[in-house]
Amino acid sequence: MSSEQVQQIVQQMGGAIGANSGLGGTLKFDFGEPGSVFIDGKSTPNTVSDGAGKNADCTISLALETFEKMVKGELDGTSAFMQGKLKVAGDMGLAMKLGPILQKARG
C-alpha cells in the first residue's frame, strides 16, 4: 500500500491524463519507500493506479520531492536526469513523452 501522498498523485494523474495520454505504453514512477504510481497507456481508456508489484515498459525512479518539483515546473526531466535525481530503466522514448503529461497535471 502506498502512502497518502502517492495515493493523491494517483488521483491527480488519473484526472490529468484522461482517456488517452499519448504514451502508448506503461510507465511507473517508483518513489521507493512511499510507493509507486503506474500509468497504463495501453489500456482504453488509459488508467493510473498504485504501481506495487507491477512491471512497466519504463520505470522512473525518483524522490517524491523531485517529482513534485517537476510537476510544479520548477525542474525539468532532462535536468533531473543529468543531475542524477532520477533514473530511467526500460523504454527511454516513453520517458521523453512525459513533458505534456506533467503539464496537464499542473492544471
The CATH number assigned to the domain holding 18 equals 3.30.1050.10
Q: What are phi and psi of 7, to 5 degrees?
A: -60, -35
pTM (2 d.p.): 0.92
The chain-wide mean pLDDT, for the chain, equals 91
State how far the alpha carbon of 62 is from the alpha carbons of 5, 33, 43, 46, 51, in Å: 14, 11, 25, 23, 14
Note the pLDDT of residue 104. Answer: 75
21 C-beta neighbours (distance < 10 Å), count: 23
Number of compact structural domains in the chain: 1
> Using an 8 Å Cβ cutoff, are 37 and 12 in contact?
no
Interatomic CA distance for residues 13 and 82, integer angstroms: 24
Q: In Å, what is the CA distance from 94 to each residue of 4, 8, 15, 90?
A: 26, 23, 19, 9
> Residue 46: which domain range?
4-106
Q: What is the pLDDT of residue 71?
A: 87
What is the structure's pLDDT at 105? 73
pLDDT in tens, 15-42: 888 888 889 999 999 999 999 999 999 9
Residue 15: predicted pLDDT: 84
The pLDDT value given to residue 1: 57
